[in-house]
Amino acid sequence: MNETPWLSGFSREIPPELLDLSFFSREQEDAFWMKQALHLAEEAAVLGEVPVGAVVTWEGKPVGWGINRRETGKNALCHGEVEAIDAACRRLGGWRLWKAVLYVTLEPCPMCTGAIINARIPRLVFGAKDPKAGSCGSVIDLFALPYNHRPQVCPGVMEEECAGLLRTFFQALRQRRKEEKTEPQR
């Protein structure tokens, strides 16, 4: 049986020639890249950002990745998916990502769903659902509307791990806020 070669963290140095996933099933490949997106999400959490990570692949190779940086970037547009799509367009030298797959740990918001449509990404794989802003089925399914592009969507890949990371982050945040409130004022 082929073991999925998990890496211990997201590697920006994955040598493409060594990354032969051709023996993977579709499910194994999806899990592999989602795990990479999770590593990126962990990096976001370390920065104090809501942990969301995204990877764009092109014919099985990573061509862009990103993390949520709204706080550190002080910018509402700094979502992981936008960063990853931006990087992929730069690397590939074009805006039509017609052979790409976008992996993201959290269901995309309306902005990122729009970016996926605009970039003509044919396949989206996401982990956790987002009942507050998710626009691929939770709040609304923008892909069901008659836009000129409709990607294939694969939800719920490593859903527990993706949701668990967010849960842990928000629990720690609430705890910190509680402690700050109870600290004696000087």
Active site residues: 81
* Least distance CB 40 / Zn ion (angstroms): 14
Q: Which residues bind Zn ion (CB under 5 A)?
A: 79, 109, 111-112
Q: Which residue number, 111 or 163, has a Cβ lying nearer to Zn ion? A: 111
Nearer to Zn ion, 89 or 109 (CB): 109
Sign, Cα dihedral of 97, 98, 103, 108: positive
Nearer to Zn ion, 110 or 164 (CB): 110
Give the pairing type, strands 152-154 and 123-128.
parallel
- Alpha carbon of residue 25 to chain centroid: 21
Please work out, in degrees rounded to the nearest 5, the angle formed at the alpha carbon of residue 114 by the alpha carbons of 160 and 147: 115
State the DSSP string of 88-108. Answer: HHHHHTSS--TTEEEEEEE--
- What's phi and psi for 64, nearest 5 deg? -170, 150
Query: Virtual CA dihedral for 56, 58, 64, 68, nearest 10 degrees?
Result: 0
The SS3 of residue 63 is strand
Closer CB to Zn ion, residue 29 or residue 165?
165
Q: What is the nearest approach in angstroms of Zn ion to the Cβ of residue 118?
A: 13
In whole angstroms, how close is the CB of 43 to Zn ion at the nearest point? 17
Beta carbon of residue 80, minimum distance to Zn ion (angstroms, whole number): 8
Tokens of 137: 């089925």
